[in-house]
Amino acid sequence: MDTSSPSLHLLLLVLLCLRLDPTGAAAQQKNQFIFNGFKEAKLHLDGNAKILPDGLLQLTNTSKHKIGHAFYSFPISFSDGLSFSTTFVFAMVPEIENISGHGIAFAISPPATDFRTANTNQYLGLLNASDDGLSSNHLLAIELDTIFNPEFGDIDDNHVGIDLNKLSSIAAASVAYYDERVNRSLKLISGKPMQVWIDYREVRNLMDVRIAPLGTQKPNRPLLSKPINLSSIILNSMQVGFSSSTGAIASNHYILGWSFSKTGEAQSLEISKLPSIPKNRKRNWTTGGLSVSLIIVSVLLVFAVTGVVYSLRRKKYEEIHEDWERQYGTHRFSYKDLYRSTNGFKETELLGVGGFGKVYKGIIRSSKQQIAVKKVSHDSKQGMKEFVAEIASIGRLRHRNLVQLLGYCRRRGELLLVYDFMPNGSLDKLLFKKQKPGLNWAQRFRIIKGVASALLYLHEEWEQVVLHRDIKASNVLLDADLNGRLGDFGLARLYDHGANPDTTHVVGTVGYLAPELTRTGKATTSTDVFAFGSFLLEIACGRRPIEPRGTPEALLLVDGVLEKWKSGVVLEASDPNLGGEYSEEEMGLVLKLGLLCSHSSPAARPSMRQVLQYLGGDASMPEVMLDTAGEGSFGVDNKMCYEFPLSCLSSNVMSSSAISVATITNESLLKGGR
Ligand SMILES: *[C@@H]1O[C@H](CO)[C@@H](O)[C@H](O)[C@H]1NC(C)=O
Ligand SMILES: *[C@@H]1O[C@H](CO)[C@@H](O)[C@H](O)[C@H]1NC(C)=O
Ligand SMILES: *[C@@H]1O[C@H](CO)[C@@H](O)[C@H](O)[C@H]1NC(C)=O
Ligand SMILES: *[C@@H]1O[C@H](CO)[C@@H](O)[C@H](O)[C@H]1NC(C)=O
Ligand SMILES: *[C@@H]1O[C@H](CO)[C@@H](O)[C@H](O)[C@H]1NC(C)=O
């Protein structure tokens, strides 16, 4: 029997009306309402929620780590049945295009619920770590979640889920406009208004959720249809409304209109009456970065002042938890889980060893997800605090050419970083593999473009400038489809933070260090571009930037390429293993770009945005730069490198491990140069 047929609805309506006493009419009025805009709406607001002059309900603005709530001022009576129907129009306008935090939820809860003690970030302003999951919550929430939180079993970073008393959804689906003939995915953070319909019919114990772009009909088929018995959740009297939160990254969360009914289908909204969404004023990243660092600095100050002392005894599974870590919302793995997933950090699970520590392969037992666990040993407490703050923001970075950080775990003197496992290992292993098949040119060129776009994202497209500081083939990992993914970003900072202020450490790898970096010790986006230049030459020529090959002239790769370029035979520098099979145009471009990026003057190097334009053929490279470049303008300071002790090179540069990092002090470099 189809319960959604109009005749049955009518019958139910009549039956319900028959049960109502005359005084029930007013109650019924309050059990059903419609707001086409919220100018005159009776709502109870808290947190950052406010009603803007044109009637737009703004749950959160771009303030970070905030919550906002808006609940209908009158309780709704569910004493005559648990069925309800509601529809609303929302929009999420992220501060920075395509990067969001965190989401909106439609919520039903007991009237006295005080959501002000709920957490921000992934808790969506609904619950906190201590009450998540309690049956006494009596909370039903339909979440529109824009962040992937593995600890809540999230399916992705763009889903709608049904939550009962806890944030792990009992049912979830990627957001899509789904109907008989369409199945088109929608992006929650597109900034575009969308309409949601939620219908619960007690007769069938069925919860249906639909979503569609504003202006389209209610889809006939639900995106989510889940049998639920709400009798243990919903009490006789409940409040209905919305909750929303932001995290380290914030979105404006808006509700444009809302209709709710306890009897039959919620009345349709009048789209022409809905308020419009203000244009996103894209803030300059410097101010965004500043406020994030202010938050981080003030949090660190608070904890430096309170001077918490940690004197826990070391036990097998012991970890270090600090309250301030919760703030960042980065997923924490338990040491026990990581220990088990890697078979107790067995040598057989070892993927690589490097300057930062060992990397192990693991499989999370519950989800069968493959992970790579990096054990970083560290003993400076101050450095660790700043570093975890940084890791937390790094965990929010999302780019298809970055190795995704899934979470972390802290122990005494030890930090464990959990990453997506990359089945094809590091690029240098394939690049320098002697036997065929290695990587063909098309694959290499795709990897170059991927890594370039990841660097552009780190440098210019995120809210803070993130310097990678150690770009090289061995830090580029390959996923199952041989896409290049940049790993280990920001890790070099750990050594920066922990550095003794009396000595300047230069972090990076010889051959990729820009000359001004070895002089001043100050990393910039230009020093990253320099390293990227060496990386380009490395891929095109199939050899490392510095290799002791008999003659001193052959030591520096960049010199060899420059010589060839000057004699008009630059293609001769290409990797002999390619057997001449490459696009001459692309090869020429990559070699030339590699030279340009390796220019000794930072001002002459292109930005990553220009690099991408050159690679995409959208702009042509300046000829002049290379023409006027005199002898010795390229690469690291030649003299210094020629006299660099080879024993030092072989330990720092020639290590073929996936994560080798050379930490050299200025002093030792200068000594080598004299
Ligand atoms: C967000 O709203 C709060 C409360 O109304 C206000 O104090 C804050 O300045 C706003 N933040 C931004 C970024 O507009
Ligand atoms: C945001 O994402 C959309 C589609 O995913 C894409 O077309 C657009 O270029 C992206 N914008 C930026 C600034 O990355
Ligand atoms: C968590 O929320 C509950 C219920 O709102 C509240 O009683 C409790 O104090 C909160 N806990 C924290 C740590 O804020
Ligand atoms: C819509 O399509 C996607 C991928 O094409 C699929 O994963 C999803 O299950 C489909 N949704 C429904 C409700 O069928
Ligand atoms: C829902 O559960 C309650 C108690 O758990 C039960 O009494 C009731 O019959 C159930 N409703 C339906 C429609 O199955």
pLDDT at 673 > cutoff 60: no
484-486/171-174 β-pairing: unpaired
Of 560 and 226, which is predicted with more confidence?
226
Q: How far apart are the first and last CA of the chain?
A: 90
Residue 631 located in a structural domain: yes
Q: Do residues 333 and 259 both lie within one domain? A: no
pLDDT at residue number 390: 67
State whether the beta carbon of 176 lies less than 6 angstroms from ligand 4: yes
Q: In this structure, what DSSP letter does residue 620 have? A: P
Q: Do residues 362 and 482 both lie within one domain? A: no
Q: Do residues 458 and 490 both lie within one domain? A: yes
pLDDT at residue number 21: 37
Q: Which of 129-133, 287-291, 617-621 has the lowest mean pLDDT?
A: 287-291
Among 62, 63, 252, the mutation site with the greatest number of ligand 1 atoms within 8 A of its Cβ is: 63
Residue 523 located in a structural domain: yes
Give the number of whichever ligand sits closest to the CA of residue 323. Answer: 3
Q: Do residues 403 and 448 both lie within one domain? A: no
Containing 51, the helix (H) or strand (E) segment is strand 50-51
Mean pLDDT, residues 411-436 taken together: 82
Asked which of 377, 403, 420 is the last residue of a domain, the reply is 420
pLDDT at 517 > cutoff 90: no
Mean pLDDT, residues 588-602 taken together: 92
Among 137-141, 292-296, 342-346, 464-468, top mean pLDDT goes to: 137-141
Of 543 and 90, which is predicted with more confidence?
90
Among 164, 229, 232, 235, the mutation site with the greatest number of ligand 5 atoms within 8 A of its Cβ is: 229
Residue 242 located in a structural domain: yes
Give the domain CATH number at 57. 2.60.120.200
The residue behind tokens 């019958």 is 11
Dihedral angle at the C-alpha atoms of 507, 508, 512, 514, nearest 10 degrees? Answer: -20
Residue 157 located in a structural domain: yes
* DSSP string for 170-221: SEEEE-EEE-SS-EEE--GGGS--EEEEEEEETTTTEEEEEEEETTSPPPSS
Report the distance separating Cα 180 and Cα 342, nearest Å.
46
pLDDT tens for 617-668 read: 888 887 745 543 433 444 444 333 322 323 223 223 322 222 222 222 222 2
Closest CA to 595 of 586, 605, 583, 587: 605
Give the number of whichever ligand sits closest to the CA of residue 119. Answer: 3
- State the pLDDT confidence band at 386, using cuts at 50, 70 and 90: low
Residue nearest to atom 10 of ligand 3 (CA): 117
Tell me the two tokens of residue 344: 């107790």
Q: Do residues 82 and 220 both lie within one domain? A: yes
- What HEC string does 234-295 produce? CCCEEEEEEEEECCCCCEEEEEEEEEEECCCCCCCCCHHHCCCCCCCCCCCHHHHHHHHHHH
Please list the active-site residues. Answer: 470
pLDDT tens for 533-554 read: 999 999 999 888 877 655 555 6
Residue 643 located in a structural domain: yes
* DSSP string for 392-429: HHHTT---TTBPPEEEEEEETTEEEEEEE--TT-BHHH
- Residue 476: φ, ψ to 5°: -105, 120
Which of helix, strand or coil describes residue 454? Answer: helix
Residue 18 located in a structural domain: no
CA of 467 relative to ligand 2 center, distance in Å: 22
Residue 14 located in a structural domain: no
pLDDT at 263 > cutoff 50: yes
Mean pLDDT, residues 551-580 taken together: 83
pLDDT at residue number 23: 39
Report the distance separating Cα 220 and Cα 199, nearest Å.
12
CA of 230 relative to ligand 5 center, distance in Å: 8
Q: Do residues 220 and 332 both lie within one domain? A: no
Mean pLDDT, residues 161-173 taken together: 96
Share of residues in the chain with pLDDT > 90 (%) = 42
Question: What's the whole-model pTM score?
Answer: 0.49
Q: Do residues 373 and 432 both lie within one domain? A: no
**By residue range, what is the domain housing residue 403?**
323-420
Containing 381, the helix (H) or strand (E) segment is helix 381-394
Residue 288 located in a structural domain: no
Tell me if 76 sits within 8 A of 226, measured CB to CB. no
Asked which of 240, 264, 288 is the last residue of a domain, the reply is 264
- State the pLDDT confidence band at 567, using cuts at 50, 70 and 90: confident
State whether the beta carbon of 98 lies less than 6 angstroms from ligand 2: yes
Q: Do residues 460 and 564 both lie within one domain? A: yes
pLDDT at residue number 18: 40
Give the domain CATH number at 567. 1.10.510.10
Mean pLDDT, residues 548-573 taken together: 78
Q: What CA–CA distances, in Å, run from 599 to 221, 304, 626?
A: 59, 42, 9
State whether the beta carbon of 62 lies less than 6 angstroms from ligand 1: yes
Q: Do residues 157 and 228 both lie within one domain? A: yes
pLDDT at 34 > cutoff 90: yes
Q: Is 270 left (phi over 0), alpha (psi -120 to 50) or beta?
A: beta
Of 259 and 336, which is predicted with more confidence?
259
DSSP H helices, 342-380, are none
Q: In this structure, what DSSP letter does residue 630 have? A: -
State yes or no: cis peptide before 102, omega within 30 of 0: yes
Q: Is 42 annotated as a binding residue?
A: no
Asked which of 420, 449, 470 is the last residue of a domain, the reply is 420
**Across all residues in the chain, what is the average pLDDT?**
79
Q: What CA–CA distances, in Å, run from 400 to 146, 439, 451?
A: 16, 20, 10
State whether the beta carbon of 600 lies less than 6 angstroms from ligand 1: no
Q: Do residues 353 and 487 both lie within one domain? A: no
Q: Do residues 491 and 404 both lie within one domain? A: no
Which of helix, strand or coil describes residue 671? Answer: helix
Of 38 and 565, which is predicted with more confidence?
38
Of 10 and 443, which is predicted with more confidence?
443
Residue 131's CB is within 10 A of a number of other CB atoms, namely 17
Strand partners for 372: 361, 419
State whether the beta carbon of 183 lies less than 6 angstroms from ligand 4: yes
57-60/224-227 β-pairing: unpaired
Mean pLDDT, residues 245-274 taken together: 92
For the chain, what is the domain count? Answer: 3
pLDDT at 471 > cutoff 80: yes
Report the distance separating Cα 362 and Cα 418, nearest Å.
9
pLDDT at 500 > cutoff 50: no
Q: Do residues 606 and 522 both lie within one domain? A: yes
476-478/414-420 β-pairing: unpaired
pLDDT at residue number 280: 57
- State the pLDDT confidence band at 395, using cuts at 50, 70 and 90: confident
